[in-house]
Structure 1
Amino acid sequence: MSHSIETLDNFIDGKPAPAATDAVVDVVDPCTGEVRARTCASGPAEVEEAMRAAERAFVSWRRTLPAERQEALLALADALRARTAEFAEAELRDTGSAAAAGEVPLMVDQLRFFAGAARLLNGTAAGEYAAGHTSYVRREPVGVCAQLAPWNFPLLMAVLKSAPAIAAGNTVVLKPAPSTPTSALLLAELAAQFLPPGVLNVICGGDDTGRLMVEHPVPAMVSLTGSVGAGREVARSAADGLKRLHLELGGKTPVIVCADADLDAAVETIVTGGFANAGQDCTAASRVLAADEVYDEFTERLAEAARAVRTGPPSEAGALYGPLNNADQLERVSGFVHRLPEHARVLTGGHRVGDSGYFFAPTVIAGVRQDDEITHEEVFGPVITVQRFTDEEEAIRLANGVSKGLASAVWTRDGARALRLSQALDHGCVWINTHLGFPSEMPHGGFKDSGYGKDLSAYGFEAYTRIKHVMQRF
């Protein structure tokens, strides 16, 4: 049965912008594997058009009063909230996830937070620090920001990147992932009602488009959320232009389950934190370290809980999560399971579900060791591994013994132990007896190969500013 294929244009300078190039990217429904839309693979002409639009807009936008930027973002937040169902449907079409309706309020909150942050720039008090002179500090916007977003949370990432940049007085050229462009384009269209043309531009394309954006002379800052490999490539591409970088890269989140943990609460939270969004979350509860005293009981309970989890399309009642995003990701997740060493045991799952779409069964793997591939590499799928540790010192060594340091978690009833572990863990976030909490007021970002810079919070806002010292002689 044939179906119409939607064409999605770039959004540049306040309006839809059909591409000059004939090159296209297919947007595939991950629930069926069928092409549902096409976007352009933006080339030099499209990137140039978007960058120059942002550059023109920056001249006036940087001079707007913080109160004016706040008012625009608050209006956008209200409009987004009023169209929750429409944005949730756009996310569903691209990701196969029905969770977006519950996530839109989080994005509205972020818009409101950064709207307020626009009026709360911090700086050193003016004063006399040299005889006969007064000094003060200005915080200014950095300029045009090139932003590259991933496919796992398309709308969330579009808001998370664009809101602080715009609130600080910058202008933005945002590229969503090629497989999930719909909600970002819809956001730009909505924002055009409240922001001047050129403040928020969205262009479509793949890796080549992103490379052109990073190498273009206009952007002063590049922000990427993606893999470690993508982060290294962006850093190399940005080096010649000495562009400021914000890199939020992959994770391999250790979840330490101590002998005194509340196992009922831990299992319930880890299942949700590991399988939600098909495990396509850089902070997913994907790598559990269980104390020797509770290892057997914990793995048995975790596997039992995982067997009760279902995956399926959004129309299927009772499904916790939907498909993986694309065929390559399905192959990648399957490959990790197929390459497991003999000592690792698949307790449940480990296979594709159905013969259409990209569904993968909830999977629990026990008996993994520290030097296994799956211990170090991010699977980005509904796969949870379990390792054993004997004491606190070993738990810290195993948890920190990977190249990534984005997030971590500790399950214990001992407050002193929680404090010791939170200090020792070399990860940008430590959750204690919880998982996946991201209040707008708190920073999110990692250490080591997980990149540098922070999303959310005043830290994430200030990253989009530059500091100027002004000194005046009496």
Structure 2
Amino acid sequence: MESVVSQETIERDAGNPAGSGLRKRLLIGGELVDASSSYESINPATGAVLGTAPDAGIDEAERAIAAAREAFDNSGWSTDVELRKRCLTQLAAVLREHADDLRELTIAEVGATRTLTYGNQLDAPIGIVEYYTGLLDGYAFTEELSSIEVRGQENKRWVEKEAAGVVSAIIAYNYPNQLALAKLAPALAAGCTVVLKAAPDTPLITLALGELIAEHTDIPAGVVNIIAGQSVEVGKLLTTHPDVDVVTFTGSTPVGKQIMAAASESLKRVFLELGGKSALIVLDDADLQQAAMFGAFTICTHAGQGCALTTRLLVPRALHDQLAEMVAGMLGHVAVGDPGDAKTYMGPLISEKQRDKVDGMVQRAVADGARLVCGGTKIEPGFFYSATLLADVDPDSEIAQEEVFGPVLVMIPYDDDDDAVRIANNSKYGLSGGVLSADDDRAHGIGKRIRTGTFSINGGNYFTPDVPFGGYKQSGIGREMGVAGLEEFLELKAYAATVKG
């Protein structure tokens, strides 16, 4: 298919757009350091080398964990709320101050469109830091309970919420700023220390965060440590090391299962934000134009690389073919190309490997009987894939059950509301979903029957810093953001004291 990236863009990338010679360093124990080896980060829109990142090994990971342990055990970070507020305020301010540089790097390394960086790829995540800074102002780390009498003596009782300890935070490539700050901000607000591991495909943007912390905040040495690398062994170490108290991971469900099993040996606290195969249910009274728009433009958001995107479109059987034609028409208007261009709606997939995976799933779906309405092609150069619609999809097939992580929407017909609910819940995942209807009460009734952690009614947006985000079933354990996100990093200690006199 014809290229969607201009020769000028390719030459700009090769000639250092955000720095093809860009190099970043690890943050360990308050110092910016190199590793003994490095690897290349690729611009997914062009396939050209963007820069190099240190390839941290076991030694660097051990040092980062030791630094975090030392900072937790022997500094005042875990108990000094005012220090934490001041440092989080500084972090938010420096992120805002350097937002333009972070924006360009996010576009170049992640393949995120410029428009998305003004939302969940950058600006909104900075808002997470600001949210937790504000939350500390009124959050009660001590809860008073009623006094009781025991053997004729009054007992005062209370509960204190203490920092859980050293946190290993492991993130995915698709929204690296969102994922990093959704873990870092509440962990730091709670008083924990952190070792953050960048995604192997997007190391530079996460390491840039470490540089800003080291050079522009008063966060004490060792409180935040940021590493990057390709080693599977480093990931294993971060989830099994005896000095790590909490593991938080965002990524695929298979890897999440491995992490949970590894962490079980020492009974570490684990919370996981994993995959999704969310359904958007179009009821028979819905506005079909709105349904076509939601279905098409949602699946093209960040080229479909979002765990909570509604990738299954459930439609009344009588409306299936009409809506398929409307969605295909919408997909034909999606602007695909250079993510740095403000007019672009959909950029590339993260890598050739990911594009091959997406294409393989589409081809198998067609071979298994799904109807390819549009798309299903690779676009060169870079790692683009055309917006794809598959119709008449079997709800039990691979393409309807497994996470694709690409711009692929599957349409599934249903017979009535009960059938729609059954199909929507016919998934090992339970992250998100949505419904479109002219009747708000009917829509809410459908939502209450869907087994997911988040749900959108007629396009409502739940994804803000004050709303807990997470899933049911194999979509994860625990919640990020909101008060619940802070409390994932707190332990409860109950006290009782006899009252003298």
- The TM-score normalised by the length of structure 2 is 0.90
Deviation at 1:64, TM superposition (A): 4.2
Q: 1:61 to 1:323 in 2, by over 3 A?
A: farther
2:220 matched residue in structure 1: 196
Alignment of 1:56-75 (within 5 A): 56-58=70-72, 59-75=74-90
User: CA RMSD of the aligned region, Å?
Assistant: 1.7
1:113 matched residue in structure 2: 131
Structure 1, 163-172 or 269-278: larger mean CA deviation: 269-278
1:365 matched residue in structure 2: 390
Alignment of 1:7-86 (within 5 A): 7-19=23-35, 21-22=36-37, 24-58=38-72, 59-86=74-101
Q: 1:96 to 1:137 in 2, by over 3 A?
A: same
Does residue 136 (structure 1) correspond to residue 136 (structure 2)? The answer is no
2:4 matched residue in structure 1: none
Does residue 101 (structure 1) correspond to residue 139 (structure 2)? The answer is no
Does residue 467 (structure 1) correspond to residue 489 (structure 2)? The answer is no
**SS of equivalent residue, structure 2 residue 409:** strand
Paired residue type of 2:28: I
Paired residue type of 1:176: A
2:301 matched residue in structure 1: 276
Q: 1:123 to 1:298 in 2, by over 3 A?
A: farther
8 Å contact from structure 2 (residues 453, 469) kept in 1:
yes
CA distance in 2, matches of 1:342, 1:464: 45
1:218 matched residue in structure 2: 243
Deviation at 1:316, TM superposition (A): 4.7
CA distance in 2, matches of 1:397, 1:36: 46
Deviation at 1:293, TM superposition (A): 3.5
**SS of equivalent residue, structure 2 residue 144:** coil
Does residue 351 (structure 1) correspond to residue 377 (structure 2)? The answer is yes
1:443 to 459, 463, 468: 468
Deviation at 1:197, TM superposition (A): 1.4
* CA deviation string 1:202-253 (max 9, x = no partner): 0011332211211222110000000001101111111112110010000001
Q: 1:61 to 1:265 in 2, by over 3 A?
A: farther
Alignment of 1:314-353 (within 5 A): 314-316=339-341, 318-340=343-365, 341-353=367-379
8 Å contact from structure 1 (residues 220, 244) kept in 2:
yes
1:429 to 432, 440, 454: 454
CA distance in 2, matches of 1:333, 1:52: 40
Percent pairwise identity: 32
Deviation at 1:300, TM superposition (A): 1.3
**SS of equivalent residue, structure 2 residue 310:** coil
8 Å contact from structure 2 (residues 78, 163) kept in 1:
no
2:270 matched residue in structure 1: 245
CA distance in 1, matches of 2:331, 2:427: 26
Paired residue type of 2:118: G
**SS of equivalent residue, structure 2 residue 118:** helix
CA distance in 2, matches of 1:63, 1:177: 27
- The TM-score normalised by the length of structure 1 is 0.95
**SS of equivalent residue, structure 1 residue 261:** coil
1:187 matched residue in structure 2: 209
Q: 1:17 to 1:258 in 2, by over 3 A?
A: same
CA distance in 1, matches of 2:149, 2:326: 67
Q: Which ranges in structure 2 are unaligned for 5 or more consecutive residues?
A: 1-10
8 Å contact from structure 1 (residues 42, 203) kept in 2:
yes
1:163 matched residue in structure 2: 185
Does residue 125 (structure 1) correspond to residue 144 (structure 2)? The answer is yes
Paired residue type of 2:145: A
**SS of equivalent residue, structure 2 residue 372:** strand
CA distance in 2, matches of 1:96, 1:385: 24
Q: 1:456 to 1:374 in 2, by over 3 A?
A: same
Paired residue type of 2:174: N
Q: 1:183 to 1:436 in 2, by over 3 A?
A: farther
CA distance in 1, matches of 2:53, 2:93: 28
Deviation at 1:33, TM superposition (A): 1.7
